[in-house]
Structure 1
């Protein structure tokens, strides 16, 4: 009986210790707005969570929360402390994020990983003091893979897009859409399936990964793959500064150490891998895939359409007193050098 009492007491003590440990663990509540199957939710966040737990000796962890609001509200949710961290698409908040369009410019011709790393490095070198992320601790900059056209009609020339209702996500896409003469329709990515199914739109500009992630293979008939893609979409990951300030400094520093370029590269790489799966899903579903060759008429048409978009962007940020042209030149050089290393 004495041995039984000793065992019970030991178990109770261990349970109390475990409970105390669990209670002392800080949970970073991360608001996410894409489906659980999206690469950010399926790959990036679980990996970052493990990095955070390992770096803080399990004192800090991450918990994903869904359905907290429209994607464009994620920045405000974190600023206001409703969520501790989130990620957001810059094009959903027109006017606030202009400098991030540096990485969205057409014809960069690199993977999402290369673009994401280049964006992180260049942002920190040239745009550190800009006000776009005031109220937030920026911890990563990520792009999706090359944006393409997914539609219910064939696209063999730019003229095929004229007067078609196309969902665009903002940012540089809006300029492309205006030049192409299409009818732009706004809407968050998670609503695209419904918009196509109901005939609200005839097509969408998105990376090919979303053919699978958003089940577009069920509601499109064609996907047109321009060499290097039409544009890139830019996202950021960010944390509430007060949340970080409340942490032990060693834990705050540990989280930031496993973020930044490391997290940006992870985010881009996950998008690239998801693009491969998206193309396979399109093939399996019998979607007509038009892979436009380098130098083909449609590729040449698009290059002409895109000419000068970068100059327009540079002019649009002149009031921010940054060397936008130097930053863009460096981003292209860094991204292409990084891509060359990946291709070896």
Structure 2
């Protein structure tokens, strides 16, 4: 979507008479003390960015708004990003496809919202690989840049990957101390990875987008959810849950993707502005924001008097080790059945995890 800045009347008349009203560029002329004038392009390109986070969220306020401002400044105002939060422009589960098709120019989506679409990428979500949002974003960006998962994004232009912090368990009426405590509960699953693990513990995984969680918990549609701490405050989950099992249950991967044709249609200097504000630098910036708010949200739950139990290393905890490994094995087996080298990607994800450890 493009619009044009105001131009002098003489230039406007000349432009109209030239019958070039469909041009994407506007030119202005200024007198320089002689009869010679210089044409200067004033084209401005506006890009619509759709995401599911609330406008008041840390991701919107502390990541996307500064990112958009930086791009506008570095492009001298020729590139503007319009933000559409709270899934107002595209539903959470179809935002990536909306970016691919050009319904939106840029979209941010959790990989888990379209199960089966990013099976290799979601291997990075398995338990034990990430202990922070910064580490998770680094793992994803590393696997994308080294080509391990790049084939899943050939229909888009990836600006950067990012990750949320580990997903803890939050429940309305019961504290989960062991996997046995989950039996019979309805737990929201954010992805197939978490769903396999939830199911391995005897609970019923329920697929719901983050935006629907508050009312679903309030109405008893689900008994709890697996959610990173930052999202607990962002979506006001701490108002409807009072029991928290602080366990690195899984980690969510997300991406910021752009329509490929839109990117390729930009002038090279504007492509460079986007390139300069893409990749690992911004993957880590998002992680730093989320990690900061994860700590604040955890402390806030304690300050509210909520009951919190800590299980920091579940893969070495006798009660949790078995179910977590069972869920991991099931997911890898399912991906292998699709014809992918799931174990090979898992090994690369573990190597990335080690190199990205904060």
TM-score bracket relative to the smaller structure: 0.7 to 0.9
SS at 2:227 equivalent: strand
- The yes-or-no answer on 1:147 pairing with 2:171 is no
Shift of 1:260: 1.3
Equivalences for 1:246-265 in 2 at 5 Å? 246-265=265-284
Question: 2:289 is matched with which residue?
Answer: 270
**CA–CA distance in structure 1, aligned partners of residues 306 and 244 of structure 2:** 7
SS at 2:241 equivalent: coil
TM-score, structure 2 as length reference: 0.82
Question: 1:217 is matched with which residue?
Answer: 238
Shift of 1:295: 7.2
Question: 1:186 is matched with which residue?
Answer: 207
Of structures 1 and 2, the one scoring higher in RCO (CA 8 A, sep 6+) is 1
Shift of 1:38: 2.1
**CA–CA distance in structure 1, aligned partners of residues 312 and 275 of structure 2:** 42
- The yes-or-no answer on 1:40 pairing with 2:63 is no
Question: 1:6 is matched with which residue?
Answer: none
Question: 1:239 is matched with which residue?
Answer: 258
Shift of 1:136: 1.3
Shift of 1:96: 1.1
CA RMSD of aligned residues (A): 2.7
CA contact (8 A) 1:110 1:336 kept: no
Q: Which has the higher helix share?
A: 1
Choose which of 106, 116, 135 in structure 2 pairs with 1:95: 116
Q: Deviations over 1:298-337 (max 9, x none)?
A: x432221111544444433336766543433233233333
Q: Deviations over 1:265-313 (max 9, x none)?
A: 122222211211211321232221112354799x432221111544444
Q: Name structure 1 gaps, 5 residues minimum.
A: 1-11
Choose which of 306, 312, 337 in structure 2 pairs with 1:287: 306
Query: Residues 129, 266 of structure 1: CA spacing in aligned structure 2 closer, same or farther, 3 A cutoff?
Result: closer
- The yes-or-no answer on 1:137 pairing with 2:176 is no
Q: Name structure 2 gaps, 5 residues minimum.
A: 1-6, 12-26, 29-39
Query: Residues 183, 139 of structure 1: CA spacing in aligned structure 2 closer, same or farther, 3 A cutoff?
Result: same
Tell me how many residue pairs correspond in the alignment. Answer: 323
**CA–CA distance in structure 2, aligned partners of residues 295 and 139 of structure 1:** 33
**CA–CA distance in structure 2, aligned partners of residues 236 and 326 of structure 1:** 22
SS at 1:199 equivalent: coil
Work out which of the two has the higher radius of gyration on C-alpha atoms and give 1 or 2. 2
Question: 1:28 is matched with which residue?
Answer: 47
